[in-house]
Amino acid sequence: MQQEKEHNQNSRQSTIDFRTLSEQLPLGVSIIGPDGTYEYINPKFTEISGYTLEDFHSGREWFRLAFPDTQYRKKLISEWLQDLIEKGIGEIRPRAFTITCKDGMEKVLHLRAVTMPEGEQICSWEDITERKRAETELKEAKDRLSKIVDDVAIPTFAIDEEHKLTNWNMALEALSGIKKEQVVGTNKQWLSFYPQERPVMADLIVDGASESEIKKYYRGKYKKSSLIEGAYEAEDFFLALGEDGRWLHFTAAPIRNETGEVIAAIETLEDITERKRAEQFSEVLLHSIGTAVFIIQEGKIQYVNPMFLEQSGYTNEEVIGTYSLNLVCPEDRELVRKK
């Protein structure tokens, strides 16, 4: 008798301690007796759903309130009973579903239920409505991006925050000779461009790499994009493309979520091989003629041939990138500017 009395006192004290703790939890908590009667719900449960124990007492009443749609309610009851059969005492039974709150609002909850040795059900309820909404919006955004990437005529690929390829469009298939089925879902975006695994520009963007890190891979070949914040562009020669290699101009830009976090990156590629060949031919031609030649863009000298350097006495480093008027005598600058 004494042992039974002490056991009952300990059980009551444990129940009191549990309820005191659950009052402070950020999760909804409910206790369901062996007969299906709701014995306790904490304040967070009421905050989430709007219901109190004055609104329902049994599991059957709860199901009718929270799941007014008959077919949906039957489905959830069937899943609850099946879980009870399959899971033993102490095993957690997780489920996610949509409830109708007292004010008529719908919320997505994550339930974790466990059967205690005495037959009671201890349940925790987490409101994951915003998380689910964010997941849905992210999926919709990725679907929109996928459609845009697939439809453009510019070779394009995209990777997610885990560096997995999510898109590899038809234009890039034609350029690289690699079908999207071979690479989407992998981290083999390097495969078309380099003989061994290394980061591509999009990988560096996803990682939030510093400019010094970008310089490590693209020294003398890259620059910040003047149009897109956080984007970089570069030009490089890729021997693995085509029979004799290809020159590409490529731009990688971050894709951000609503809070500004980088969640993906997109990279576009332009085949500039013919332009590069024309430039190389022009450079050879300009080097070989016996007349001083210089090229000015936006007022700055971009190119001078050897004859110009020989006749002017300047070095290449002294003139490239400087304003052309700086090479004109001060008294003649206004005249040259007018012409």
3-state secondary structure the chain: CHHHHHHHHHHHHHHHHHHHHHCCCCCEEEEECCCCEEEEECHHHHHHHCCCCCCCCEHHHHHHHHCCCHHHHHHHHHHHHHHHHHCCCCCCEEEEEEEECCCCCEEEEEEEEEECCCCCEEEEEEECHHHHHHHHHHHHHHHHHHHHHHHCCCCEEEEECCCCEEEECHHHHHHHCCCHHHHCCCCCCCCCCCCCCCCCHHHHHHCCCCHHHHHHHHCCCEEECCCCCCCEEEEEEECCCCCCCEEEEEEEEEEECCCCCEEEEEEEEEECHHHHHHHHHHHHHHHHCCCCCEEEECCEEEEECHHHHHHHCCCHHHHCCCEHHHHCCHHHHHHHHHC
β-sheet bridge partners, residue 270: 249
Looking at residue 25, what is its pLDDT? 80
pTM above 0.75, yes or no: no
> Would you state the pLDDT for residue 11?
47
Question: Are 251 and 158 in contact, with CB atoms under 8 Å apart?
Answer: no
Distance CA 88, CA 114 (A): 9
Spatial contact of 271 and 175, defined as CB atoms under 8 Å apart: yes
Q: How far is CA 313 from the centre of its chain?
A: 54
Measured CA to CA, the distance from residue 28 to residue 123 in angstroms comes to 8
Q: How many residues does the chain have?
A: 339
Pair 262, 208: CB distance under 8 Å? yes
Side-chain-side CA neighbours of 11 within 13 Å: the count stands at: 10
Beta-bridged to residue 124, according to DSSP, are 29, 112
Give 234: exposed, middle or buried? Use CB within 10 Å, 0-12, 13-18, 19+.
middle
pLDDT at residue 111, rounded to an integer: 95
Tokens of 44: 């967070």
For residues 296-305, b (16+ Cβ closer than 10 Å) or e, as one string?
eeeeebebbb
For the chain (339 residues), the mean pLDDT of every run of 10, in chain order, is 47 58 84 94 95 95 96 95 93 95 96 93 94 84 78 90 93 92 94 92 95 92 90 92 88 89 92 78 62 76 78 81 75 65
Radius of gyration for the chain, computed over Cα atoms and rounded to the nearest angstrom? 34
Closest CA to 49 of 22, 36, 34, 67: 67
